[in-house]
């Protein structure tokens, strides 16, 4: 069943078109990965869904509710958890206060928090610590935990493994997989192809603000030519 449908988003930065007819459909319990080079429009696509970049045209439907033209604060309340690029923690606030902001988004209780702390138990001992003083891996965990506190039906992650040690990447990958297995629809933006191939169910390649091609992960995994053509790796 489709939980999120984005149809024909067109967005601009000044006169430059950043998104061209961007359309995706996400099912519950799947991971769709947006791949593409720097500047391909992946982050803009997520921001357009969140409403912080206003698309000039297009339609957004979440859980059967048409959210087209909604104010930015209404979109997360409808059930989207977002892990922005660079984590974007409230660095002067404590770990607990960051999580509290997530809990307040929909006010649906502590279920998401309990699940997040089960996935990232290290945060339990850091509750009173200022989030800006956490390590890079812990900051990513907190950013994910904060988004999970929303109790989302759709989780969007923008390069969550950026700048992390391999051990931390494995933890994030495991958390994303468990979210999917719990029935959450995941939209993952990544530049690291290896991080995608092991978790994604479907892949969409973006270039110049446009989705150029879509594949099931099995079609991509061993197709080096395809990967080279769209993201410059594989040879």
Partner 1 sequence: MNIAPYLLLATLEGLVQASVLMLTALGLSLVFGVMRVVNVAHGEFFMLGAVGAWICATLIPGPPAVAFVAALVLAPLFVGAIAWAADWAILKRIDYNPEATIVATIGLMYIIQQTTLWSFGPNAQAVDAPFYYTLRFPWFGYSTYKFFIIGAAVVLVGGLLYFLRHSKVGLVMRATQFDRETAQNFGISVGRVYSIVFAVGAMLAAIGGVLVVPAQQAHYLMGHDPLLLSFVVVIVGGLGSIPGTIAAAILIGMSDGLLSVFFSPTLAKIFSTLLVALVLVFKPEGLFGKAGR
Instruction: Catalog residues that contact partner 1 under the rule CB under 8 A.
Output: 50-52, 71-74, 76-77, 82, 84, 88, 90-93, 97, 100-102, 104-106, 146, 150
Nearest approach, Cβ of residue 90 and partner 1 (Å): 5
Contact 193, 235 (CB under 8 A): no
Nearest approach, Cβ of residue 224 and partner 1 (Å): 36
Q: Please report, for residues 132, 161, 182, 228, the alpha-carbon distance to residue 140 in angstroms, rounded to integers and kept in the order given.
A: 11, 8, 20, 29
**Which tokens is 98 given?**
């960051």
Residue 138 or 158 having the CB closest to partner 1: 158
Residue 92 or 181 having the CB closest to partner 1: 92
| Helix residue ranges per DSSP H, 107-165 | 111-119, 136-148
Nearest approach, Cβ of residue 183 and partner 1 (Å): 22
**Which tokens is 108 given?**
């649906």
Nearest approach, Cβ of residue 114 and partner 1 (Å): 19
Residue 85 or 177 having the CB closest to partner 1: 85
Residue 146 or 180 having the CB closest to partner 1: 146
Residue 50 or 213 having the CB closest to partner 1: 50
Nearest approach, Cβ of residue 93 and partner 1 (Å): 6
Nearest partner of 88 among 124, 122, 60, 46, judged by Cα: 46
Residue 27 or 52 having the CB closest to partner 1: 52
Nearest approach, Cβ of residue 87 and partner 1 (Å): 9
Contact 75, 51 (CB under 8 A): yes
| Helix residue ranges per DSSP H, 1-123 | 42-50, 74-77, 95-106, 111-119
- CA 54, CA 140: separation in Å to the nearest integer? 26
Contact 134, 94 (CB under 8 A): no
């Amino acid at each position: 069943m489709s939980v999120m449908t984005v149809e024909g988003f067109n967005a601009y930065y000044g006169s430059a078109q950043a998104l061209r007819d961007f359309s995706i459909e996400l099912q519950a319990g799947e991971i769709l990965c947006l791949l593409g080079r720097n500047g391909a429009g992946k982050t803009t696509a997520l921001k357009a869904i969140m409403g912080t970049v206003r698309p000039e045209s297009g339609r957004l439907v979440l859980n059967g509710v048409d959210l087209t033209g909604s104010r930015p604060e209404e979109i997360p309340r409808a059930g989207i958890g977002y892990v922005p690029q660079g984590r974007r923690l409230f660095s002067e606030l404590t770990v607990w206060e960051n999580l509290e902001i997530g809990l307040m988004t929909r006010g649906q209780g502590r279920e998401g928090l309990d699940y997040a702390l089960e996935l990232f138990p290290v945060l339990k001992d850091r509750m009173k610590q200022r989030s800006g003083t956490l390590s890079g891996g812990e900051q990513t965990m907190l950013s994910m935990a904060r988004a999970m506190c929303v109790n989302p039906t759709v989780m969007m992650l923008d390069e969550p493994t950026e700048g992390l040690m391999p051990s931390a990447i494995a933890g994030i990958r495991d958390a994303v997989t468990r979210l999917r297995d719990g029935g959450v629809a995941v939209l993952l933006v990544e530049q690291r192809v290896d991080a995608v191939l092991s978790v994604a169910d479907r892949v969409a390649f973006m270039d110049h603000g446009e989705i150029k091609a879509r594949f099931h992960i099995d079609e991509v995994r061993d197709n080096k030519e395809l990967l080279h053509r769209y993201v410059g790796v594989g040879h």
